[in-house]
Amino acid sequence: MISYKKVEAEKKKIISNCRACDGNGCNACFGYAAYIDKMAAAHIPVDYWFRDMKGFYGEQHFKDNVLSYMNNLHTEFNNGLTLCFTGERGRGKTMAACAILKQALLDNYTAFYTTMVEAVDRLMTPDSYVFREAIKNIDFFVIDEVDRRFFPSRGSMELYGNHFESMLRSRTQNRMPTIICTNSQDTKQIFGGEFQKSFASLESQFFRILHAGGKDARKGEEKL
């Protein structure tokens, strides 16, 4: 969870810097402060709260596809496909995924961000039922860092693969939009064994793959 103190500090900063009321409080800055509460509840990392795709310095083709998705969010929600962002680190996958979640919140959808390790860990806790129900019902759900480097052994790969497949099947079969971010260049590189076959089956039916190419933006002016 995001620190309560951090959330309150960011809200105070918005109000104090508001040009409309000079920090006295008005509908505009109070509205933005409420939006910060929504982003925090959606677990969107603070680093991406104040970034948008206008400042995206990554590959233009990837940017255009993400903006198109955001501009047609209602249609995309009805389609219920899974977006899979592939590409090396620093290409803007997380920034794009968070931009979609923020647009979803503005359009009164529910949204949630998590990483694969975080999600699987929560699924293995005694109160996992609450999280399982959330996975089923959240409108736009991001699973970041779906990466083979988190599987130090075959046993851990099977464990994470089974839980990950459970999450995906729950959402894809109910046509709930899911966004997956992976540093792998090919989705076949993520998991091995039987899960690879199962993943390939889901991918063929429900996935749209978007590759984020270009240079590592972390080495430039913008951190993606």
Q: Please report the domains of the chain, with CATH numbers, ordered by start residue.
A: 1-41 (no CATH), 45-219 (3.40.50.300)
pTM of the complete model? 0.86
Positions of the chain with pLDDT lower than 70, given as ranges: 149-161, 186-205, 216-224
pLDDT score for 74: 97
pLDDT score for 29: 83
> Over the stretch 63-90, which tens digit does the pLDDT of each residue have?
999 999 999 999 999 999 889 998 888 8
| Distance between CA atoms of residues 107 and 72, nearest Å | 11
| Distance between CA atoms of residues 161 and 51, nearest Å | 32
> Over the stretch 196-209, which tens digit does the pLDDT of each residue have?
666 666 666 677 88
Long-range CB contacts (within 8 A, 24+) of 205-209: 205/172, 206/80, 206/81, 206/82, 206/172, 207/81, 207/82, 207/83, 207/84, 208/81, 208/82, 208/83, 208/84, 209/84, 209/86
